[in-house]
Chains A and B, each alone.
Chain A
Amino acid sequence: MLKLKNIQTFYGNIQVLKDINMEVKQGEIITLIGANGAGKSTILMTISGIVPPRKGDILFQGNPIQNINPDKIVALGISQVPEGRRIFPYLTVMENLDMGTFLRNDVFEIKKDMDYVFQLFPILSERRNQPGGTLSGGEQQMLAISRAIMARPKLLLLDEPSLGLAPIITTQIFNIIKKINRENNTTIFLVEQNASLALKVADRGYVMETGEIIMTDTGDNLFNNKDVKKAYLGI
């Protein structure tokens, strides 16, 4: 579904991604793990078109998207939940969700999806008229994920959904991510620092170090790999 071929991305003169090759298949959950500053978020921003690559190709369902404007990429079916959630703080919960449907006009289907996310996260329904900025970290993460799936993406990019959350909330969010993948057949690209949790839910994983992919395997194999264990799982 998504293929990254020899991607090189720069911030000014600094090369952040050096020759990245990745593939995401329809319907799977893949995870990308790695230390701080390895370039994980940059990969997502490159896919979304916010920081376009200087070299290489990104193929989405067989078509190159590396030169397309970011808003058009969303229209193709790629939504991102960026790092730090980035809820619109002065828009209400409902308005934040409405923003997720910005490119859609099918009123009745939108209503259905709204009910669906309220059923996934009942707390959002209770807080629907509250400004997004007044929610707790966990609630904001729930809102950010809901907002992204309101766009009915084919591919959902998630950047560190566990960041700054209590372990119990993290587990809850990961269960929902699995549920979204199963129920809607949404392909999920998960970037995580919390490697053990991420590798458990993922079908396949990539390990990244200073701008390069150094390892790729199934989630289970990576979880049991002794280098990965030492470097990222702390066991």
Chain B
Amino acid sequence: MDFDFLTYLFFGGLTRGSIYALIALGYTMVYGIVELINFAHGEIYMIGAFTGLIISSVLTMLGLPILAIVVLSALTAIIYSCAYGYTMEKIAYKPLRDSNAPRLSALISAIGMSLFLQNYVLLAQTSDFLPFPNFIPDFEFWEPYAHILTSPELVILITTVIVMICLTILIKFTKIGKAMRATSQDKVMAVLMGVNINRVISITFIVGSATAAIGGILIACHIGQINFYMGFTAGIKAFVAAVLGGIGSIPGAVLGSFVLGLTESFFAGYFSSDYEDVFAFLFLVLILIFRPSGILGRAETKKV
């Protein structure tokens, strides 16, 4: 067990964690604001990858330079996913919220949305695995370190860090970010300050969808293939990561994702990759026994 292998596993875990984090952010932000587990969130990630593939194929046929293809297809995929996230909220959740439906109904609606989107892509596209072009070249300057961290992994890590920084700025310092935090703490009071809750919710869905789409494209480039089912497993894992970190907490979701990614990576590397999921979920159970509201979650305090 040499040092290189250890760092290789470490960075592998970080990369995995980054992807989980990009998806988990959407879960945790939506939960923070509307207290809804948006089970269709993984599908947004899948749609992001599919849109990226379709647009990039078209652009490749048109013979555009590679950089233009990457930028244009990524942007289109993000915008497309945001539109899906926005529409999904308006169709599947807003009517239920307006009629004061119990939270369980919204959950069922979310599962329905998830199945609908999966099958829609299955029918409209294909059930096969589709090859995804690798847009991330092997950087020459990175060559000496490539055995512990490949170029695509490096790009994933850097992109994630940039997304996190942008998100932090959005949440901490902008007006809409403050409104989001205020809404998650006390909805009625936020309304009494003049916040339009529906707008805040829409923006939350849009931001969450954008990060998920980024995750979708990155993982597709990295793994090199996509299919309609990819959102399900990734979505569940990201959801686990969000719960692990403390659902509703943004730093929690990021931390939970990295913890989960590293756990899986180390277990797969040193023990058995067949059992990595088993171990990951066992780890989740253990953490939740000792910290029921997650690593950074706030314990529910009820006034009696």
Which residues of chain A have a CB within 8 Å of any CB of chain B? 48, 50, 69-71, 74-75, 79-80, 82, 86, 88-91, 95, 98-100, 102-103, 147, 151
Contacts and interface: CB of A to CB of B under 8 A. Distances in A.
Interface stretch (B15-23, B132-140, B174-182, B204-212): B174-182
B171 to A, nearest CB: 11
Given A82-B188, A102-B175, A151 B182 contact: no
B132 to A, nearest CB: 41
Contact of A99 (B188, B190, B196): B190
13 contacts: A50-B188, A50-B191, A71-B195, A71-B197, A82-B188, A82-B192, A86-B186, A91-B181, A91-B182, A99-B182, A102-B175, A102-B178, A102-B195
A91 B195 CA distance: 15
Contacts of A151: 193-194
> Which 10 A-B residue pairs are closest in the complex by CB-CB distance?
A74-B194, A103-B194, A86-B189, A88-B185, A70-B191, A71-B196, A99-B193, A71-B194, A102-B194, A102-B193
B192 A89 contact: no
Say which size band chain B's interface belongs to.
10 to 19
Interface of B: 175, 178-179, 181-182, 185-186, 188-197
A74 B190 CA distance: 11
Contacts of B194: 71, 74-75, 102-103, 151
A49 B159 CA distance: 44
A75 B195 CA distance: 10
Contacts of B188: 50, 82, 86
A90 B182 CA distance: 8
Contacts of A100: 193
A191 to B, nearest CB: 15
B192 A102 contact: no
Given A50-B192, A74-B194, A151-B193, A98 B185 contact: no
A50 B195 CA distance: 13
Interface centre among B185, B193, B196 (most CB of A within 10 A): B193
